[in-house]
Amino acid sequence: MRRILVDHARAKHRKKRGGEMETLALDEGLHVSPRKSVQIIALDDALTALAQLDQQQCTVVEMRFFGGLTLEETAEALRISRATVHRDWVTARAWLMRELAAA
């Protein structure tokens, strides 16, 4: 899901190859405003930086934010405790908010 949103946002901002022209895509039901597109790109950049610091925290954010999983579902998928997921989620959110505020 992260890749779909980021690719969509980047495509909207592309001037090259008629980027401003309206195209019909399979995901036409996905309506992302230009402001949201910029935010999604910034989030992707911040998540890439987070992955370099702590891959598990990045994975937790992707599963929770883009996948919509609960703490329990994320813990089960990653085979770690719910407490670890919660700790990673809280830490990663704080780090991401700080990074996005600075951008």
Q: What is the pLDDT of residue 11?
A: 75
pTM of the full structure: 0.67
Distance of alpha carbon 17 from alpha carbon 20, whole angstroms: 9
Q: How far is CA 65 from CA 22, 61, 103, in A?
A: 28, 6, 20
Q: pLDDT-derived band of residue 46, with 50, 70 and 90 as boundaries?
A: very high
Domain boundaries of the chain, sorted by first residue: 2-102
Share of the chain above pLDDT 70, in %: 77
Q: pLDDT tens digits, residue range 48-77?
A: 999 999 999 999 999 999 899 999 999 999
CATH number of 2-102: 1.10.10.10
**pLDDT band at residue 32 under the 50/70/90 scheme:** low
